[in-house]
């Protein structure tokens, strides 16, 4: 079980595969390396096949990390499972306010 984080153009990235507890640490490492080069970035999650609370935590961490580094991250292609977890956890407004959308 693995997930990938790849550049698909300047400031644009795609995540594919499961975004779960077992894969999030590797995706976080990959994304931090890539995002250090970008002031504004778009992360597309349309290729995510499975998500749990670790995936939600990662999405929130991306947004916080960008803000603390003077940048902005928009998350697109929000999987329904991630959107549902965000609603249940009452952080869906945070994702929307940060420019994330499905």
pLDDT in tens, 29-63: 999 988 887 778 999 999 999 999 999 999 999 99
- Three-class secondary structure assignment of 33-99: HHHCCCCEEEEEEEEEEEECHHHHHHHHHHHHHHHHCCCEEEEECCCHHHHHHHHHCCCHHHHHHCC
Structural tokens at position 44: 């597309």
Q: Provide the number of structural domains found in the chain.
A: 1
pLDDT at 91: 86
Residue 102 belongs to a domain: no
User: What CATH number did the domain enclosing 64 receive?
Assistant: 3.30.750.24
Q: Say if residue 99's pLDDT is above 60.
A: no
Identify the residue with better confidence: 34 or 1: 34
pLDDT of residue 67: 87
12 inside domain: yes
Q: Is pLDDT of 23 > 70? A: yes
Residue 52 counted as domain residue: yes
Which pLDDT score, from 0 to 100, does residue 96 have? 65
User: What global pTM score does this model have?
Assistant: 0.89
């Amino acid at each position: 079980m693995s997930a990938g984080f790849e550049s698909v153009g300047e400031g644009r990235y795609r995540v594919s595969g499961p975004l779960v507890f077992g894969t999030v640490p590797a995706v976080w490492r990959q994304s931090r390396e890539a995002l250090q080069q970008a002031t504004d970035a778009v992360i597309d999650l349309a290729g995510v096949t499975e998500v749990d609370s670790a995936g939600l935590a990662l999405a929130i961490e991306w947004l916080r990390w960008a803000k603390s580094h003077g940048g902005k991250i928009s998350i697109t292609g929000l999987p329904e499972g991630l959107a549902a977890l965000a609603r249940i956890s009452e952080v869906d407004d945070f994702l929307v306010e940060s420019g994330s959308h499905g």
